[in-house]
Chains A and B, each alone.
Chain A
Amino acid sequence: MSAAEGTLSRNSGRVALRRNMGRVFYGVCLAATLSGILALAVLLITVASDGLGRVSWDFIDSFPSRFPERAGIKGALWGSIWMMAFTAVIAIPLGVGAAIYLEEFARRNWVTRVIETNINNLAGVPSIIYGLLGLTVFVRLMSLGGSVIAGSLTMSLLVLPIIIVASREGLRSVPPSIREASLGLGASQWQTVWSQVLPPALPTILTGIILALSRAIGESAPLIVIGATLFLAFTPDGPNSQFTVLPIQIFNWASRPQPEFQTTAAAGIIVLLTVLLTMNALAIGLRLYFEGKRKW
């Protein structure tokens, strides 16, 4: 009797220990998760307190200057817009096309497997390597120079894997019964894809496109390598124009020793982050809106 009681109390001691270990572990996990959010908050507060006083319409509508108080982001902002527009025009059809081929047409054979493995590997290639590729192929071989179009082509190759992966996910979420019904009514495979599969997959694809473009707008290393200019006092006027982009302009200011230029860099970051957060919010909103409308 007493021996059994002893075992019981010893066990309940172990149970309490295990329970406490569990609580401590829960706390540690929670703290780790919150540390990421804390880091985000500190980053945003640092940037805002450094640069918010510097953001104004003048800042957005002025060219860079040797004098930090007069410097603005006009050239860089327009450069980013031009680069984004061309990247979208080039990368969206190619990316969605590749996804449609792989999801809807490709046979399960070694060619398909090679393409798929290859896309996965491309997604992991450092962005600066794309810069070296663009420098050799687009800038020199095709003699495009450090132009908007050379930058956009380089950036398109960089974001293609993102668009392909998101588009495939969207196409895969359309149930096979939709395709079978369409094929059964006599539609061809392409008619089925175009009229039945693509429309319901569009929200996911759009979300992927927005994410890909927001990656493109924040990327600077490959554009520095292809020779996008650091200091530019005009806006691009066509695909062959020289250009610079927001992150490169920020990099330029952040690498100067004068504290006034650091403030200018922070102001540039605020503009860049505002654009990015707007795009992300758009992507999330789109997903929520269409998820509510899904018919199956």
Chain B
Amino acid sequence: MSATAVPTRGFVTAKERERRRTIRRIREAPIYAFLFGCAALSIFTTGAIVVVLIEEAIRFFRHVSIVDFLTGTTWTPTFADAHFGVLPLFNATIVMAAGAMIVAIPLGVLAAIFLSEYAHPRVRSIIKPVLEVLAGIPTVVYGYFALQFITPELLRPPFGNDVSIFNAAAASIAMGIMILPLVASLSEDAMRAVPQSLREGAYGLGSNRFEVATKVVVPAALSGIIAAVILAASRAIGETMIVTIAAGQAPNLSWNIFEEMAAMTAYIVQVSLGDTPRDDPAYGAIFAVGMLLFVTTLVMNIFAQWLLARFREEYD
């Protein structure tokens, strides 16, 4: 009797097994749905950003023509005779981002060459995290650093009092330091993806390390390095606190980096801190400015990703 009961204990028929599997699948369906929802949330976020910016920008463009906004050279939203020409803000953003790139590109790419081609793995494993700390420092801290150190200790001694308290140069240098690790680490990734055989071929032909680095590795990794530079530039364009604290909030269409100039992001902060009424065009302008900022950085990011994808195909 008991001998026949034993085999049935852990044994289920094929039909029963199928039934249990179906139950399990039904029970797991909500989990699957939740997980898919998490992933799909990113699409909703992007959609919401686009809808919010377009809707609020359209409301603003009922008061101000889009042509005047994009080509105007006077930004005086709170004056009785209000002008909404975004060029002073746009120019300031571009000037400061360009300044940051002048600092970050040479330093970042050379550091990447050092880490990828010269550094002993152990040295690399120490230097890389230290550089990454730079990228993790909050941007208010860089703003403070620009205001309290870069302007009075670095810029004022050689250039004198031509340098205003708030100036674009200090913001640029601080942003350059902030994005240096981004340029370095993405460029290094691109350089390390260059196959070892290319280096060995060059060594075999009698090249030294310098020649291998500059004539083989850097050209082979160029699209990746350019992508790194574009991503870093887009980060500098969207940077808010450094330019707000260090470069000031006075709109100024100028190329003089020692003058105060308000960036696009600085205007958004300025309005957010103030008590401008919601129906005032000066308030609606933050969405138009935000739209311009979003489109600029999005185009740059998409271009960089396209470059990276093309680069990856090359050696797969």
Contact = CB atoms under 8 A, between A and B. Distances in A.
A25 B213 CA distance: 10
B111 interface: yes
Nearest to B301: A124
Given A136-B56, A214-B136, A280-B136, A101 B184 contact: no
Interface in B246-286: 265, 268-269, 272-273, 286
B41 A94 contact: yes
A137 B245 CA distance: 27
Contacts of B141: 43, 47, 218, 250, 269, 272-273
B35 A33 contact: no
A19 B110 contact: no
B154 to A, nearest CB: 10
A101 B49 CA distance: 23
Interface stretch (B60-68, B69-77, B127-135): B127-135
Nearest to A101: B35
A33 B111 contact: yes
B39 A25 contact: no
Contact of A122 (B42, B177, B290, B305): B42
Interface residues of B, number: 89
A88 interface: no
Given A21-B210, A136-B56, A225-B268, A250 B34 contact: no
Secondary structure type dominating chain A contacts = helix
Interface of B: 21, 24-25, 28, 31-32, 34-43, 45-46, 48-49, 52-53, 56, 106-108, 110-111, 113-115, 117-119, 127, 129-131, 133-134, 136-145, 147-149, 177, 180-181, 184, 208-211, 213-214, 231, 234-235, 237-241, 244-245, 265, 268-269, 272-273, 286-287, 290, 293-294, 297-298, 300-302, 305
27 contacts: A18-B211, A21-B210, A26-B114, A26-B118, A29-B110, A29-B117, A30-B118, A32-B108, A36-B130, A43-B137, A118-B42, A120-B301, A122-B42, A124-B234, A125-B297, A127-B238, A129-B49, A130-B49, A132-B268, A190-B32, A218-B139, A220-B240, A225-B272, A227-B272, A247-B241, A251-B140, A269-B140
6 closest residue pairs by CB, A with B = A126-B238, A218-B138, A97-B38, A32-B110, A22-B210, A221-B240
